[in-house]
Structure 1
Amino acid sequence: MPPTWLRYAEDAVRRSPEGPEYLRGVFPYVLPPLVELEREPVPLDPAEEIWITDTTFRDGQQSRAPYTVEQIVALFSLLHRLGGPRGMIRQSEFFLYTKKDREAVERCQELGYRYPEITGWIRATLGDYALVRAAGLRETGILCSISDYHIFKKLNSTREATIRGYLEVVDAALADGVVPRCHIEDATRADFFGAVLPFVQALMERSRESGIQVKVRYPDTLGVGVPDPYAALPRGIPRLTRALRREAGVPAEALEFHGQNDLAAIVPNAVAAWLYGASANNGTLLGIGERSGNTPIEALVFWLVGLTGETHGMDTTVISEIADFYRAIGESVDQRLPFVGDNFNVTRAGIHADGLIKDEEIYNPFDTRGLLNRPPGVAITDKSGAAGLLMWMQKHRPAMAEGLDKRDGRLLRVLELVMAEYDEGRVTSLSDDEVGAMVDAAWGGG
């Protein structure tokens, strides 16, 4: 009788259609991916514990100029502080291919942090696995592309041969006591019952035989996932998460979602993964990643707090330090990005400024001063009005703003100077220096 894993692979071939299955009813290619819905929703099934994992130095490094070793060490230290002593950022994965990759791993290992744990990332070859052994890592990600798009078009192979090759590398890792984390690439475009399920069942069988829990990361490689509990397989993240848990038998703590943002649903999909059974969510700092990006770790931090009701020791103020670090190394930080962008909690609307003056909770979603070390701000434009100027004064000239009313003649004089700028054709907001000069002129003139 063939070994269990091979029977699963042979079953996959028997259940698969002749030739590749590209699910053209859902992925016509000449249109955006089409959404199929089931009649019944998937029930909520959250894991008892949830956490975050990091791929800033792997997937995040595939969309920008490579980090220097010093930059990796600095960012790794910031991740350590952000995740806190309880390791809410549990792991960080690294390339191992170049001398610089290996030096970065060694330098981060020398820091002696328990969290994030350093893990590897390799292709499913024994040659790549030798790099993991040489680095002395206890866990590694293994690229296990699972959709027919990848198996037939990229690998020019078959399901049976592909699965056989993946499991050969998994066996090598297990023989060394290394935890394999199998990344079933393109899971949201794959034949779940014909390819994903038999492969993952084979992995769980190997877990039982070896006593080492194999982990499964399910990447939404092209960002086609749908967060709705009615959405059908393979695109429905709730349904896919539940199927991996309940049909394939993956424990919550061994299940990890990896999102991409091609269709602008990355955060809802990540939250859905947590709500329907995965313990781990994989992301990058500032969402920097291939194409439209990965799940931003800073967003995962705040959603984890929102879902669990506590910070678990995470230092959320480090997020602002991380954004400043990226700016310092020349990375463009989109001003509209949540949590880290310059405009995140900055208003230009006078009506919003008026509300913030009365009580910042009116227009601020949470205590950005306490949690991000970023008090609400205002940028002065022709839409700011006297209320916006008063808010600017309270931040930049607090002594002068004491007891000041937005109907004060001096403030209205500043407003006149502001409006004159825009009457003359200005289209950008005023700098703090420019507003300060106008304030000085109005106050100096009585």
Structure 2
Amino acid sequence: RQEIMDHYLSVVRKIVENGVVARCHLEDITRADIHGFVLPFVEELMNISKESGVDVKIRLCDTMGYGVPFAEGTLPRSVPKLVNIFRSELGVPSRLIEWHGHNDFHKVLVNGTSAWLYGASSVNGTLLGIGERTGNPPIEGLIIDYLSLKGHDSTINTKVIDEIAKYMQNDMGINISSRYPFVGRDFNVTRAGIHADGVLKNEEIYNIFDTAAILNRPLKVSVTDKSGIAGIAHWINTTMNPKEEISKKHPAITAIYKLVQEEYNKGRTTSMSDEELSNLTRLHIPELFKTKYNEIEEIALKTAISLVEEYSSKEELQNMQEYEIVKTLNYLIEHNKSIQMAYVTDTNGIQVTDNISQPWIVKSKDISKKGDNRKNRDWFSNVIKNGKTHVTDYYISLTTEKLCFTASSPIINLNDEFVGVLAIDFNFSNLTGAIEKECKTF
């Protein structure tokens, strides 16, 4: 033992001599000889730290998961006593004590939290607890426990927990149990009708905390023959997001409930899927659903806004030099066939370029050109009034005689000065057609 200790200590001395913080792993500490070897060894490590002025960290490794979170337990298994003994008998500061646990006995998270409570400054964790054999403390669990102990921490964004889990499942192919805490598909899903009725009255009755605000996971109700009318109403209100809450007394809810009961009377044993419930809702409350046209129209408007804001922020437009504007808008037109034309005005509404249009467009004699005053146009006046991107109503283009709309956005230079307005005319049919084609492709 002494030979091993001396050899290890010589390595640590070499490390700290070079000004490097040593991190010493006390492997399998929950089965170790604490007083006969571990304490004398750590005491020597602390002496090296004091002599060198360089920190030596102590990592307590519950390698086989034998640790227990009880202060009444005995050494070496009691996590509270393990952490405390290094602090009380050797004076090891909390900032140098670290806990590393394993889940062989289903105590990995509570042991890590117990180590925190009794003086360890840090606990090792992995996403979803994935690690050797039974795994390590799950980081998402540690985060929730940490916040439970410390309160709000503005530096922590708990909503990414769900995003990370989705990435691990969808992109990395990692299977996550539907019942896995915080991220499993059903972790905050209730099925009993009495529970659903309670949720409608007060969500706190059957939700562990505000899962929507903290994890971006609203409480859900899984509909079965036991869910009742309240369960169906809650599913519709949380899944379909109606503008006004649908009461469980709504006649359509009763109709859907009867159809669900018919399924189970025929011998069904599985929960109703979201797709099935969506179809029943579409049949009985069709006003909750956007048509395919509405969805494509919404995407088209978002696309137009994104494009006009992207180009209005380009430096070539911010300089308000005609040559650079023409060059940039020609590129825009060439790479976006749904755009009819684009143009720029100064702050007074005077057009600083001719209309930059698709080569196949035959220009009308009455079409606007460089030098024209456009200040009375809706797309200009609204930008001036609100200082924000504006989208006009649909109109028939004088140039192409096609249905179109104009998206316009302020041009702000690098000094945050308003210097002009970019306007883009979109051919509605071409834009929505391209989006519909893209949607079918994916």
Q: TM-score range by the shorter chain?
A: 0.5 to 0.7
Partner of 1:359: 202
Q: Distance in 1 between matches of 2:245 and 2:273?
A: 24
Alpha-carbon deviations, 1:322-364, whole Å to 9, x = none?
1111012111112212111111222122222112211212222
Q: For 2:186 and 2:258, how far apart are their aligned partners in 1?
A: 25
- Residues 1:390 and 2:230 aligned together: no
| Residues 427, 173 of structure 1: alpha-carbon distance in 2 compared, 3 angstrom cutoff | farther
Alpha-carbon deviation of 1:175?
Answer: 2.2
1:26-425 correspondence runs (5 A)? 159-328=1-170, 329-399=172-242, 402=244, 404-425=246-267
Deviations 1:234-288 (A, max 9, x none): 1011111101111232110000111111111122211111111111111111111
> What are the ranges of 5 or more consecutive residues in structure 2 without an aligned counterpart?
287-442
After TM superposition, give the deviation of residue 164 of structure 1 in Å. Answer: 2.7
Q: Deviations over 1:128-171 (max 9, x none)?
A: xxxxxxxxxxxxxxxxxxxxxxxxxxxxxxx2233233223322
Rounded to whole Å, the distance in 2 between the matches of 1:343 and 1:380 is 12
- Aligned residue identity for 1:192: I
Q: Check if 1:428 corresponds to 2:270.
A: yes
Corresponding residue SS for 1:294: coil
Cα distance per residue 1:352-394 (max 9 Å; x no partner): 2112211212222222111111111122222222111111110
Report the counterpart of residue 129 of structure 1 in structure 2. none
Cα deviation, residue 442, structure 1: 4.2
In 2: Cα distance, 1:208 partner to 1:200 partner: 12
* Partners of 2:196 and 2:234 within 8 A in 1: yes
2:57 partner amino acid: K
- Residues 287 and 296 in structure 1, CA contact (< 8 A), matched pair in contact too: yes
SS at match of 2:106: coil
> What TM-score do you get using the length of structure 1 for normalisation?
0.61
* More displaced 10-residue stretch of structure 1: 331-340 or 228-237: 331-340
Deviates more, 1:207-216 or 1:303-312: 303-312
Alignment correspondent of 1:155: none
Give the residue type in structure 1 aligned to 2:198: G
Q: Would you say the 8 A contact 2:237–2:245 is kept in 1?
A: no
**Cα distance change, pair 259–375 in 1 and its aligned pair in 2 (3 A):** same
Secondary structure of 2:208's counterpart equals: coil
Aligned residues: 285
* AA in 2 matched with 1:361: E
C-alpha change, 1:193 and 1:275, in structure 2 (3 Å) is same
Aligned-pair distance for 1:436? 1.3
Amino acid at match of 2:160: V
Structure with max Cα Rg: 2
- Cα contact 1:257–1:281 (8 A) shared by 2: yes
Change (3 A) 1:282 1:383: same
Quote the Cα distance in structure 1 between the aligned partners of 2:133 and 2:267: 37
**Matched residue SS, 1:283:** coil
SS for the counterpart of 1:399 is coil
Contact 1:201 1:249 in 2 (8 A): no
TM-score normalised to the size of structure 2?
0.61
Higher relative contact order (CA 8 A, sep 6+): 1
Partners of 1:280 and 1:443 lie apart in 2 by 53
> Over aligned residue pairs, what C-alpha RMSD do you find?
1.8
